[in-house]
Amino acid sequence: MIWFVAWRNIWRNRTRSLIIMSAIVIGIFAGTFSAAVLKGMMEQRVQNVINLELSHIQIHNPEYLEIKEMHEYLKNVPEIASKLDTLSGVAAYSERVIVNSMIASAESGAGVQLFGIDPTKEKQVTTLHEQIVEGDYFADARRKSIVLGRKLAEKLNVKIGSRPVLTFQSIDGVLVYESFKVVGIYETVNSTYDEMHAFVLKSDLLSITHIDDNAAHEIAILLKNNDLTKPVKKKLIAAFPSSDIQSWTDLSPEMSVVTKGMEFSMYIFIGIILLALLFSIINTMLMVVLERTKEIGMLMSVGMSRLRVFFMILLESVYLSGFAGVIGIAIGYGTSMLTARSGIDLSGLYGQGLRSFGYDPVMYPDITPEMALHITIMVLITGIIASIVPARRALKLKPAEAIRTDM
């Protein structure tokens, strides 16, 4: 009976209840949708790091990452490749030769990290070939071909067919000048990456630098899913203890921190919204108690226990916040699911700024049932906490005095 009475009580002042419930709906919707956008934004960044920049695992010579010298290459590449071919969980891998170089056109020059790759293998590991906006991705494997990022191409003022000159040292210390033909221009969501990385055929770079034909400075490994990173890494460390084997979180620890921090900040953001709504609910319920002082006194005088009075006010608060909260979550969840298909395009407003930090200007919100459940629980807890202050005030009332009040 008390459940029904509590429900009817919140509609005794319909206007006030609708106003506070509307505020809760708007606040919870904003919190849920914003959290979904932040989560989707972070998931996209992680996928871009894995699918384009780092892959799941990388193998290097232990000295290479410290000094970046050309001669510090992996000398057991065939052995590692043989192991990777039989290791479960490995989707693909690609051996790369990496050289720090200067690239110059008739108008400008810049420093660039030059990657010598096997295009066929690289297609299976990264999505770079899908980012080509002009030309092609080593379509006919012509010798001395190069693929540049759009940002670098604009800086050099080169286009398809241009022949910028690259300057770097061979493994024996001789300075080499080579002209490469631009066959493709790519553009990713990370403009900084586009400006600093260029790609040539591995066979060309090995020949020019006089590095051993089976050598590689880096082996990038793509796994079937991210959950396999730790177990596969352990197996590789056990098999090749003399090599430096790192996961994408080891190579980019800031991404791991940002990922965990973003998830925590989502709930902090929703918590701040709920905190603001908490005081609104407390204020509303205090007004309810003050208006019904005489009524509560009469109920207590005819035998209603203080516990039942407390429970009735608690139910009113939970109904008020819970009903509106669920509506807000449902609207936020539905909006997130709809926009997850089409995306939210911020290219016109913040595209350049987002790309400079490596974030996709087209955001796809990501929300899960677990996330919606957590927010629902937070809303219900808020309703319970909001009921404590007005309920305690009601419990302090003396029936005889409450009945004589004019309110």
194-244 pLDDT, tens digit per residue, is: 999 999 999 999 999 988 888 899 999 999 998 999 999 999 999 999 999
From the centroid of its chain, how far is CA 389?
39
Can you tell me the distance from the alpha carbon of 352 to that of 358, in angstroms, rounded to the nearest whole number?
Answer: 10
3-state secondary structure (DSSP) of residue 116: strand
What pLDDT shows up at residue 400? Answer: 62
Q: How far is CA 132 from CA 47, 183, 187, 345, in A?
A: 18, 10, 6, 20
DSSP string covering 293-322: HHHHHHHHHTT--HHHHHHHHHHHHHHHHH
- In angstroms, the CA 282 to CA 279 distance is 5
At 278 the pLDDT is 86
Evaluate whether 55 touches 125 at the Cβ level (below 8 Å).
yes
SS3 160: coil
HSE, side-chain direction, 13 A CA sphere, residue 64: 25
Global pTM value: 0.78
Instruction: Return the percentage of the chain with pLDDT > 90, whole number.
Output: 41
What is the distance between the alpha carbons of residues 217 and 73, in angstroms, rounded to a whole number?
4
Written as six digits, the tokens of 403 are 């009945």
Q: How far apart are CA 268 and CA 350, in angstroms?
A: 25
Q: Are 188 and 131 in contact (CB under 8 A)?
A: yes
Backbone dihedral region for residue 232 (phi beyond 0: left; psi -120 to 50: alpha; all else: beta): alpha
DSSP category for residue 107:
S
Please give the pLDDT value at position 404.
Answer: 61
Residue 178 has pLDDT above 60, yes or no: yes
- pLDDT the model gives residue 402: 57
Label residue 270 exposed, middle or buried (CB < 10 Å: 0-12, 13-18, 19+): buried
Tokens found for residue 87: 């290791």
How would you class 176 by CB atoms within 10 Å of its CB: exposed for 0-12, middle for 13-18, buried for 19 or more?
middle
Separation of alpha carbons 259 and 277, rounded Å: 28
Q: What is the pLDDT of residues 301-332, one digit of tens each?
A: 777 777 787 888 888 888 888 889 899 999 99
Position 198 scores a pLDDT of: 96
C-alpha span between 336 and 249 (Å, rounded): 28
* Closest to 362 in 3D by CA, of 48, 29, 127: 48
- The alpha carbon of residue 351 and the mean position of all alpha carbons in its chain are separated, in whole angstroms, by 17
Query: Which pLDDT band, with edges at 50, 70 and 90, does 399 fall under?
Result: low
Average pLDDT, whole number, for the chain?
86
